[in-house]
Chains A and B, each alone.
Chain A
């Protein structure tokens, strides 16, 4: 397929100096964008252009640029990670847009994710939820029992794996009208509750993680399911159901 190298686009981007300042949308033009480019490469083109004009480039988070680190986080045309499904912002390609388009680019918006600058937000609330209980308490002594001592049914192992593929990007929160973190938190609770290793601390874990989630100011889940649609890793709503039942078990005993 021959590349279309001639897209001209209008970008409306949220600019905000720092957490304390208020921000606003600014308009920029970029020219000759190839549809082979990734969305972030298009942003690189804009930034090089701004630097060339002696202006401040747009700050955005990114690192791996292959959909796995969870760093990139843009709200594009009203959708977390943009119009494509099953991808992060860095995996979004310009072939999803066409010449003459106007693209709106904003940061994640949620009380628990304050803006740091422009499109960069602070997601350390996610880390604090993990610190509250997202682990199995086992030391690295070198004396763990043989890895094959407890066989785990493939089906459980696969489900645990699917839950474990969450990249902690926060798109679920950004998408949810209540800014709920249920999908993220339930992915970790599910992973560990599906495995024998996670059983011992199961009750404590779910309670502590949910408590911390509430403390961080994430909203309540009202089952709209928007999170599942926008999640780049296909984390399923089943995990929320599983967490709710774990939570119920923990609080009734």
Chain B
């Protein structure tokens, strides 16, 4: 039975009450307790630093050469917090409400409320660490807006917010590493979770430089290992992002929740060829000032594709600002799932503006001119020329988004100050992940999951700027309390030995898996299989899904998995630095996850958030064509239990109760 352990009492008092009631470990006893943290991103890094500050002995693992390089570093746009600095009516409740609604009513109320509650602390904490957030001329913190909300609550540092927040967490870690309270294992990859007497007591990790297989024990294991978007091969995630840590825990008994909830981000640079290795995000913050459009007339589309017309040749009335047209209330700031489907709809109808037919425009010219005119007025310039206005406006846009524009130009060789960007949706974030209770503990006692690796707070669709918030909330402010409740029973346990039969077996299993891959000596590279998996996922389990396609996907993924194990070629040996071997162990896990992913999508015969089932759309009325949720049958979390094979997995349902928010159709019209 799934017990989410949500504390009783009114929503707004739950977290305070819980903190008052749970067990705490006496400071003097904390030094007898070891905690393993897998991951040094916002979730893992924040958790490692905070747990070490409290006095636990922390061992932290990451596969990059430094904890500062975790994928969180790439987050661009911002982080939400209910500070109400802009005095535009924001509050803890409003952030809670927006997040639950944005997630299409598929998240747990109590968790989301707690997230909103601690959000303000995050900003205070980061500023105290020296994170240089953007400021206004008066010296106070600046905010911007993100999709799906009507207030300005997003804190940012140009288009490098994730970098600045992660470097903040990294500095907190550095301080503890310097003190010897965190032992950092760079270039180490967790390949197995070790369970002793039903509790998570350690991991098996591979030293990626020497290839050595190592045993590490602890009283609890925290997984902050990130999301699994790379199951699609192409995504905005870093190349190394993977599901393996979470998947290994899953196969040892941790339930995997809502694997099919994936976020396809509307504004990414379109793909350019088969050699493409990853996709690049253009932050959602750009939708504050960018307007999305395609030509109204098919003739213009054709002329543009043939290079006979430029987008800047089209007059206002020849452009279809389709988001503004369809969703007048939110316009270009509708949530991501809505914006992505709308782009797909236009491109499927033939209006895509590049050679592949999979691109729409994101245009800054209106914003540039508007800012330019404002600036001219402020500077007292009378009757400025268009050229002057444009110049002034470009400077302001550069101050806001300079690094993103530069990134775009370097990749495409187009200057987005002069011509609109071309964008298309791409896989970006995974809302699904390891099932956790209110304490962030998985179904394996002593195994916790934080950040993108867990399923908790975003329901079926994550709002922009809320992943950074969740990762830091989990790591800085939630886990340090809730883990104490669990560890309070371990103060007399003493160090966990690594010479037990459980460690022997786990290590043996890892070594066998590696040897099998190395000795396979097949004919095809790891990427060959990963690309095939990605194509099936994108075509049949991507932005739009139906029962037949999902069934086919399950069968095809199984087939690819079998071929992989028969025919993959992994060069080199196990006892050396071997990037192909690293990829192989990750892809082997993706090939299992992919099938469960499709199965989950098949089972959920409703459309909600990022999960769109063609069988479940509104047939008439104002919302015609929009996604249709089925609250009667699907207001639950699907938590999957491993049962020997992805197709044989067993679902457990956690019913979601909404006592503080009325379930409504999500309308952004």
Contact A41–B275 (Cβ < 8 Å): yes
Contacts of B345 in A (CB 8 A): none
Contact A56–B273 (Cβ < 8 Å): no
Which of the four size classes fits the interface of chain A?
35 or more
Contacts of B91 in A (CB 8 A): none
Instruction: Give the contacts of B101-135 with A (CB-CB under 8 A).
Output: 118, 121, 123-130, 132-135
Does B209 count as interface, using CB distance less than 8 angstroms?
Answer: yes
Which residue from A68, A135, A154 sits with its C-beta under 8 Å from B163?
A68
Q: A64-B73, A68-B163 are in contact. Are A160 and B132 (CB under 8 A)?
A: yes
Closest to A69 in B: B69
How many residues of chain B get a CB closer than 8 Å to chain A's CBs? 79
Does B26 count as interface, using CB distance less than 8 angstroms?
Answer: no
User: Chain A 36-57 against B: per-residue CB contact (8 Å), 1 yes, 0 no?
Assistant: 1110110011001011101111
Contact A63–B240 (Cβ < 8 Å): yes
Instruction: Give the contacts of A77-103 with B (CB-CB under 8 A).
Output: 84, 86-87, 91, 93, 95
- A123 to B138 alpha-carbon distance, docked (Å): 40
Does A152 count as interface, using CB distance less than 8 angstroms?
Answer: yes
A contact patch SS: loop
Which residue from A45, A134, A139, A198 sits with its C-beta under 8 Å from B174?
A134
The segment out of A140-148, A220-228, A242-250 that lies at the interface is: A140-148
Contacts of A64 in B (CB 8 A): 69, 71, 73-74, 238-239
Contact B65–A37 (Cβ < 8 Å): no
- A198 to B171 alpha-carbon distance, docked (Å): 12
Contacts of B476 in A (CB 8 A): 140, 142
Contact A147–B127 (Cβ < 8 Å): yes
Interface centre among B83, B135, B238 (most CB of A within 10 A): B135
Q: A48-B527, A151-B139 are in contact. Are A124 and B66 (CB under 8 A)?
A: yes
Which residue from B53, B69, B133 sits with its C-beta under 8 Å from A140?
B53
Does A131 count as interface, using CB distance less than 8 angstroms?
Answer: yes
Contact B139–A55 (Cβ < 8 Å): no
CB distance from B449 to the nearest CB of A (A): 19
CB distance from B153 to the nearest CB of A (A): 13
Does B445 count as interface, using CB distance less than 8 angstroms?
Answer: no
Contact A68–B129 (Cβ < 8 Å): no
- A86 to B135 alpha-carbon distance, docked (Å): 25
User: Chain B 69-96 against A: per-residue CB contact (8 Å), 1 yes, 0 no?
Assistant: 1010110000000010100000000000
- A133 to B178 alpha-carbon distance, docked (Å): 8
Closest to B481 in A: A142
- A24 to B500 alpha-carbon distance, docked (Å): 45
CB distance from A2 to the nearest CB of B (A): 8
Contact B277–A65 (Cβ < 8 Å): yes
- A174 to B15 alpha-carbon distance, docked (Å): 50
Contacts of B138 in A (CB 8 A): 151
Does B30 count as interface, using CB distance less than 8 angstroms?
Answer: no
Contact A70–B68 (Cβ < 8 Å): yes
Does B454 count as interface, using CB distance less than 8 angstroms?
Answer: no
Q: A63-B239, A66-B280, A131-B177 are in contact. Are A157 and B74 (CB under 8 A)?
A: no
CB distance from A243 to the nearest CB of B (A): 16
Contacts of B132 in A (CB 8 A): 157-158, 160-161, 164, 191, 195
Q: A40-B277, A191-B130 are in contact. Are A135 and B171 (CB under 8 A)?
A: yes
CB distance from B31 to the nearest CB of A (A): 17
Does A130 count as interface, using CB distance less than 8 angstroms?
Answer: yes
- A88 to B576 alpha-carbon distance, docked (Å): 27
Contacts of A52 in B (CB 8 A): 525
CB distance from A136 to the nearest CB of B (A): 5
Does B367 count as interface, using CB distance less than 8 angstroms?
Answer: no
Does A34 count as interface, using CB distance less than 8 angstroms?
Answer: yes
Contact B65–A123 (Cβ < 8 Å): yes
CB distance from B518 to the nearest CB of A (A): 12
Contacts of A56 in B (CB 8 A): 571-572
Contact B127–A18 (Cβ < 8 Å): no
Contact B477–A69 (Cβ < 8 Å): no
Does B423 count as interface, using CB distance less than 8 angstroms?
Answer: no
The segment out of B289-297, B406-414, B427-435 that lies at the interface is: B406-414
- A17 to B411 alpha-carbon distance, docked (Å): 33
- A86 to B46 alpha-carbon distance, docked (Å): 30
Does B50 count as interface, using CB distance less than 8 angstroms?
Answer: yes
Contact A161–B209 (Cβ < 8 Å): no
Interface centre among A34, A132, A148 (most CB of B within 10 A): A148
- A37 to B476 alpha-carbon distance, docked (Å): 40
Contact A41–B276 (Cβ < 8 Å): yes
Contacts of A157 in B (CB 8 A): 132-135, 139
Contact B280–A147 (Cβ < 8 Å): no
Contact A198–B239 (Cβ < 8 Å): no
Which residue from B184, B281, B413, B577 sits with its C-beta under 8 Å from A93?
B413
Contact B577–A117 (Cβ < 8 Å): yes
Does A137 count as interface, using CB distance less than 8 angstroms?
Answer: yes
CB distance from B403 to the nearest CB of A (A): 8
Contacts of B347 in A (CB 8 A): none
Contacts of A95 in B (CB 8 A): 413
Closest to B155 in A: A147
CB distance from B152 to the nearest CB of A (A): 15
Does A27 count as interface, using CB distance less than 8 angstroms?
Answer: no
Contacts of B140 in A (CB 8 A): 148, 151
Contact A55–B571 (Cβ < 8 Å): yes
Closest to A195 in B: B130
Closest to B572 in A: A56
- A131 to B52 alpha-carbon distance, docked (Å): 14
- A72 to B382 alpha-carbon distance, docked (Å): 49
Please name the 9 residue pairs, one residue from A and one from B, whose CB atoms are nearest each other, closest first: A151-B139, A135-B171, A161-B132, A131-B178, A144-B124, A144-B128, A147-B127, A63-B238, A160-B132
New A-B pairs, 7, CB < 8 Å, besides A44-B277, A147-B126: A37-B273, A87-B410, A91-B411, A140-B50, A144-B127, A148-B140, A165-B163
The 28 sampled A-B contact pairs (Cβ below 8 Å) are A1-B413, A3-B272, A38-B277, A41-B275, A48-B527, A50-B571, A51-B569, A57-B580, A63-B239, A66-B407, A68-B74, A69-B64, A91-B410, A117-B576, A123-B66, A131-B175, A133-B178, A135-B130, A135-B174, A136-B171, A137-B175, A140-B172, A142-B125, A147-B126, A151-B135, A191-B130, A197-B127, A197-B129
Query: Which residues of A pack against B, CB within 8 Å?
Result: 1, 3, 17-18, 34, 36-38, 40-41, 44-45, 48, 50-52, 54-57, 59, 61-71, 84, 86-87, 91, 93, 95, 116-117, 120, 122-124, 126-127, 130-140, 142, 144-148, 151-154, 157-158, 160-161, 164-165, 167-168, 191-192, 195, 197-198
